[in-house]
Amino acid sequence: MKLHLRKNILTAIVFGSIFSVSAQIDTTIWNSTKKIEDNRFVAEIPQDWKVVTIANASEYSHKYEFTGIGIKPMVLQSPVTAFLTIKKATQTDVKAILEEELKDFNTFYDKVQEANYTVDSSTVKLKTGEDGFYLHTRFYRRSKASNYSRFYLVAQNKKTNEYYVFAYWFQYKDPTYDIERNNRLKEYVLKAMSNISFR
Protein backbone atom coordinates (compact mmCIF):
# COMPACT_ATOMS: atom_id res chain seq x y z
CA MET A 1 0.00 0.00 0.00
CA LYS A 2 1.35 3.44 -0.81
CA LEU A 3 2.67 5.61 2.00
CA HIS A 4 -0.03 8.29 1.66
CA LEU A 5 -2.74 5.64 1.97
CA ARG A 6 -1.18 4.29 5.16
CA LYS A 7 -1.05 7.80 6.59
CA ASN A 8 -4.67 8.46 5.63
CA ILE A 9 -5.86 5.30 7.36
CA LEU A 10 -3.93 6.05 10.54
CA THR A 11 -5.02 9.69 10.58
CA ALA A 12 -8.67 8.79 10.17
CA ILE A 13 -8.49 6.26 12.99
CA VAL A 14 -7.11 8.88 15.35
CA PHE A 15 -8.91 11.99 14.14
CA GLY A 16 -11.93 10.59 12.24
CA SER A 17 -15.04 12.76 12.09
CA ILE A 18 -18.62 11.49 12.21
CA PHE A 19 -20.52 11.61 8.91
CA SER A 20 -24.05 12.93 8.63
CA VAL A 21 -26.43 11.11 6.31
CA SER A 22 -28.15 13.18 3.64
CA ALA A 23 -30.52 12.36 0.81
CA GLN A 24 -29.80 9.81 -1.91
CA ILE A 25 -31.57 9.54 -5.27
CA ASP A 26 -34.63 7.64 -3.98
CA THR A 27 -34.99 7.50 -0.20
CA THR A 28 -38.40 5.79 -0.36
CA ILE A 29 -36.62 2.43 -0.64
CA TRP A 30 -36.04 2.67 3.11
CA ASN A 31 -39.79 2.75 3.79
CA SER A 32 -39.90 -1.03 3.47
CA THR A 33 -36.94 -2.95 4.88
CA LYS A 34 -35.80 -6.42 5.88
CA LYS A 35 -32.96 -7.66 8.06
CA ILE A 36 -29.79 -9.58 7.45
CA GLU A 37 -29.64 -11.65 10.62
CA ASP A 38 -26.39 -13.08 11.92
CA ASN A 39 -25.37 -14.44 15.32
CA ARG A 40 -23.27 -11.33 15.95
CA PHE A 41 -24.94 -8.52 13.97
CA VAL A 42 -28.11 -7.31 12.29
CA ALA A 43 -28.12 -5.18 9.12
CA GLU A 44 -31.36 -3.50 8.04
CA ILE A 45 -31.54 -3.16 4.25
CA PRO A 46 -34.19 -2.16 1.68
CA GLN A 47 -36.74 -4.89 1.00
CA ASP A 48 -35.84 -5.04 -2.71
CA TRP A 49 -32.17 -5.90 -2.23
CA LYS A 50 -31.66 -9.41 -3.63
CA VAL A 51 -29.80 -12.28 -2.02
CA VAL A 52 -26.88 -13.58 -4.10
CA THR A 53 -25.97 -17.24 -3.69
CA ILE A 54 -22.38 -17.68 -2.59
CA ALA A 55 -20.18 -20.77 -2.73
CA ASN A 56 -19.63 -22.75 0.46
CA ALA A 57 -15.92 -22.01 0.29
CA SER A 58 -16.43 -18.27 -0.12
CA GLU A 59 -14.86 -15.87 2.35
CA TYR A 60 -18.18 -14.01 2.47
CA SER A 61 -21.00 -14.89 4.82
CA HIS A 62 -23.56 -12.75 2.97
CA LYS A 63 -23.90 -11.14 -0.45
CA TYR A 64 -26.69 -8.91 -1.80
CA GLU A 65 -27.28 -7.11 -5.09
CA PHE A 66 -28.97 -3.70 -5.17
CA THR A 67 -28.48 -2.73 -8.82
CA GLY A 68 -31.06 -0.10 -9.79
CA ILE A 69 -32.56 0.06 -6.29
CA GLY A 70 -32.50 3.65 -5.04
CA ILE A 71 -29.87 4.61 -7.62
CA LYS A 72 -29.94 5.06 -11.38
CA PRO A 73 -29.42 1.75 -13.22
CA MET A 74 -27.74 3.37 -16.23
CA VAL A 75 -25.07 6.06 -16.59
CA LEU A 76 -23.71 7.23 -19.94
CA GLN A 77 -25.77 4.47 -21.60
CA SER A 78 -23.98 1.78 -19.58
CA PRO A 79 -25.27 -0.25 -16.62
CA VAL A 80 -24.40 0.46 -13.01
CA THR A 81 -24.10 -2.69 -10.90
CA ALA A 82 -24.10 -2.62 -7.10
CA PHE A 83 -23.37 -5.28 -4.47
CA LEU A 84 -22.87 -5.66 -0.73
CA THR A 85 -20.59 -8.33 0.70
CA ILE A 86 -20.10 -9.14 4.37
CA LYS A 87 -17.42 -11.21 6.05
CA LYS A 88 -15.70 -11.66 9.37
CA ALA A 89 -12.17 -10.29 9.30
CA THR A 90 -9.23 -12.58 9.98
CA GLN A 91 -7.16 -9.69 11.35
CA THR A 92 -7.77 -7.90 14.66
CA ASP A 93 -6.48 -4.45 13.78
CA VAL A 94 -8.40 -1.92 11.62
CA LYS A 95 -5.35 -0.74 9.70
CA ALA A 96 -4.25 -4.31 8.92
CA ILE A 97 -7.78 -5.28 7.88
CA LEU A 98 -8.04 -2.40 5.42
CA GLU A 99 -4.61 -3.08 3.99
CA GLU A 100 -5.70 -6.67 3.38
CA GLU A 101 -8.94 -5.53 1.72
CA LEU A 102 -7.22 -3.06 -0.55
CA LYS A 103 -4.36 -5.39 -1.45
CA ASP A 104 -6.24 -7.24 -4.18
CA PHE A 105 -6.90 -4.28 -6.43
CA ASN A 106 -3.66 -2.49 -5.53
CA THR A 107 -1.93 -5.35 -7.34
CA PHE A 108 -4.08 -5.14 -10.49
CA TYR A 109 -1.70 -4.69 -13.41
CA ASP A 110 -4.29 -2.63 -15.29
CA LYS A 111 -5.54 -0.42 -12.46
CA VAL A 112 -5.54 3.33 -13.09
CA GLN A 113 -6.27 5.99 -10.48
CA GLU A 114 -6.48 9.74 -10.81
CA ALA A 115 -3.30 11.73 -10.30
CA ASN A 116 -2.76 12.63 -6.63
CA TYR A 117 -5.85 10.63 -5.64
CA THR A 118 -6.28 10.10 -1.90
CA VAL A 119 -8.77 7.82 -0.23
CA ASP A 120 -11.80 9.21 1.57
CA SER A 121 -11.87 7.92 5.14
CA SER A 122 -13.42 8.66 8.49
CA THR A 123 -15.65 7.11 11.14
CA VAL A 124 -19.36 6.41 10.95
CA LYS A 125 -21.82 5.79 13.78
CA LEU A 126 -23.60 2.44 13.79
CA LYS A 127 -27.19 1.94 14.96
CA THR A 128 -26.04 0.58 18.32
CA GLY A 129 -23.67 3.49 18.88
CA GLU A 130 -20.32 1.97 17.95
CA ASP A 131 -17.93 3.84 15.70
CA GLY A 132 -17.04 1.97 12.53
CA PHE A 133 -14.15 2.86 10.26
CA TYR A 134 -15.19 3.99 6.77
CA LEU A 135 -13.02 4.04 3.65
CA HIS A 136 -13.86 4.87 0.04
CA THR A 137 -11.66 4.38 -2.99
CA ARG A 138 -12.17 4.30 -6.75
CA PHE A 139 -10.23 3.24 -9.83
CA TYR A 140 -10.39 2.21 -13.49
CA ARG A 141 -9.45 -1.16 -14.96
CA ARG A 142 -8.30 -1.27 -18.57
CA SER A 143 -9.04 -4.97 -19.02
CA LYS A 144 -12.66 -4.49 -17.91
CA ALA A 145 -13.11 -1.06 -19.53
CA SER A 146 -14.94 -0.10 -16.35
CA ASN A 147 -14.70 2.23 -13.39
CA TYR A 148 -15.19 1.02 -9.83
CA SER A 149 -16.16 2.63 -6.55
CA ARG A 150 -15.72 0.70 -3.33
CA PHE A 151 -16.93 1.71 0.10
CA TYR A 152 -15.75 -0.24 3.13
CA LEU A 153 -16.97 -0.37 6.70
CA VAL A 154 -14.81 -2.13 9.28
CA ALA A 155 -16.56 -2.44 12.62
CA GLN A 156 -15.91 -4.32 15.84
CA ASN A 157 -18.36 -6.27 17.96
CA LYS A 158 -17.22 -5.14 21.41
CA LYS A 159 -18.71 -8.21 23.08
CA THR A 160 -16.69 -10.69 21.05
CA ASN A 161 -13.80 -8.43 19.85
CA GLU A 162 -14.48 -9.71 16.32
CA TYR A 163 -14.20 -7.35 13.34
CA TYR A 164 -16.55 -7.44 10.36
CA VAL A 165 -16.06 -6.01 6.89
CA PHE A 166 -19.07 -4.62 5.00
CA ALA A 167 -18.08 -3.76 1.41
CA TYR A 168 -20.31 -1.89 -1.05
CA TRP A 169 -19.19 -2.36 -4.66
CA PHE A 170 -20.20 -0.30 -7.69
CA GLN A 171 -19.14 -0.96 -11.30
CA TYR A 172 -19.91 1.47 -14.13
CA LYS A 173 -18.44 3.44 -17.03
CA ASP A 174 -17.85 7.08 -16.12
CA PRO A 175 -14.28 8.39 -16.45
CA THR A 176 -15.23 11.59 -14.61
CA TYR A 177 -16.62 9.70 -11.57
CA ASP A 178 -19.48 12.20 -11.52
CA ILE A 179 -21.74 9.24 -10.91
CA GLU A 180 -20.65 9.27 -7.28
CA ARG A 181 -21.99 12.79 -6.82
CA ASN A 182 -25.00 12.60 -9.15
CA ASN A 183 -26.14 9.24 -7.79
CA ARG A 184 -25.14 10.17 -4.24
CA LEU A 185 -23.39 6.87 -3.74
CA LYS A 186 -21.71 8.00 -0.53
CA GLU A 187 -25.01 9.05 1.05
CA TYR A 188 -26.59 5.76 0.00
CA VAL A 189 -23.82 3.73 1.59
CA LEU A 190 -23.70 5.78 4.78
CA LYS A 191 -27.42 5.29 5.25
CA ALA A 192 -26.96 1.54 4.93
CA MET A 193 -24.02 1.59 7.34
CA SER A 194 -26.02 3.51 9.94
CA ASN A 195 -28.57 0.65 9.99
CA ILE A 196 -26.05 -1.94 11.21
CA SER A 197 -26.15 -3.08 14.82
CA PHE A 198 -24.22 -5.61 16.89
CA ARG A 199 -25.62 -8.21 19.26
DSSP string for 31-65: GSEEEEE-SSEEEEEETT-EE----TT-S-SEEEE
Assign 18 a pLDDT band (cuts: 50, 70, 90). Answer: very low
The CATH number covering residue 76 comes to 2.60.120.1690
Per-residue confidence (pLDDT) for residue 6, from 0 to 100: 52
pLDDT score of 9: 52
Provide the domain count of the chain: 1
SS3 148: strand
Of the candidates 59, 39, 42, 69, the residue with the CA atom closest to the CA atom of residue 170 = 69
Region for 106 from its dihedrals, namely left if φ exceeds 0, alpha if ψ lies in -120 to 50, beta otherwise: alpha
Residue 67 pLDDT > 90: yes
Is residue 186 packed enough to be buried (19+ CB in 10 Å), middle (13-18) or exposed (0-12)?
Answer: buried
> Looking at per-residue confidence, does 32 or 108 come out higher?
32
User: How far, CA to CA in Å, does 31 sit from each of 61, 70, 159, 188, 195?
Assistant: 26, 11, 31, 14, 13
Q: For residue range 108-134, what is the model confidence (pLDDT) as tens digits?
A: 889 999 988 888 999 999 999 999 999
- What is the pLDDT confidence band of residue 58, given thresholds at 50, 70 and 90? very high
pLDDT of residue 15: 40
7-26 mean pLDDT: 48
Tell me which residue range forms the domain holding 58. 3-198
Give me the mean pLDDT over the 180-187 stretch.
Answer: 94
pLDDT digits (tens, 9 = 90+) for 80-112: 999 999 999 999 999 999 989 888 777 888 999
Instruction: Using CA atoms of 63, 89, 123, 14 in order, give the dihedral in degrees to the nearest 10.
Output: -170
State the pLDDT confidence band at 20, using cuts at 50, 70 and 90.
very low
Q: How much is the average pLDDT of 126-153?
A: 96
Q: What is the pTM of this model?
A: 0.86
